[in-house]
Amino acid sequence: MPKTPGLYERGLAVRRQVLGNNYVDTSLKNATSFSTDFQDFTTEVAWGEVWSRPGLDRKTRSMLTIAMLAAMGCHEELRLHIRASRNTGVTDDELKEILLQVGVYAGIPAANTGFQIARSVLEEKAP
């Protein structure tokens, strides 16, 4: 998949700011001939086109992403974005409120799993 000039670089910069250099470097290093096109697609479309738009700040996008991932049951991505929320300014109290909102609109089981994942991620960050 060809990279769009400028879009890939912009996406990569945003991806690094949100997810962190270590995560992005590992993802790129572990890409195979099978998964490289997907890495490029994600970097350009999700990070270069959507996360780079001026309509919402990164914190708001982060909060929305966490809510949607919890609601959809995308647990690995949820774990990743809860970790990344430290880079976007989402507080523990805001994370709790996001997951309570998920409970009301997506169901108690989705919120329950979200709280379990969040708790384990927050414990990773504890000194």
- Would you list the domain boundaries of the chain? 7-50, 58-125
Q: What is the CATH number of domain 58-125?
A: 1.20.1290.10
Instruction: Compute the average pLDDT of residues 85-91.
Output: 97
Instruction: Compute the average pLDDT of residues 70-86.
Output: 98
Q: Are 27 and 39 in contact (CB under 8 A)?
A: yes
pLDDT per residue as tens digits for the range 19-70: 999 999 999 999 999 999 999 999 999 999 999 999 999 999 999 999 999 9
pTM of the model: 0.92
Whole-angstrom distance, CA of residue 47 vs CA of residue 18 = 9
**What is the model's pLDDT at position 125?**
65
Instruction: Compute the average pLDDT of residues 6-28.
Output: 96
For the chain, the average pLDDT equals 95
Residue 52's alpha-carbon distances to 11, 76, 90, 115, 119, in angstroms, are 7, 23, 18, 28, 29
**What is the model's pLDDT at position 76?**
97
**What is the model's pLDDT at position 29?**
95
Provide the pLDDT confidence category of residue 88 given band limits of 50, 70 and 90: very high
**What is the model's pLDDT at position 4?**
77
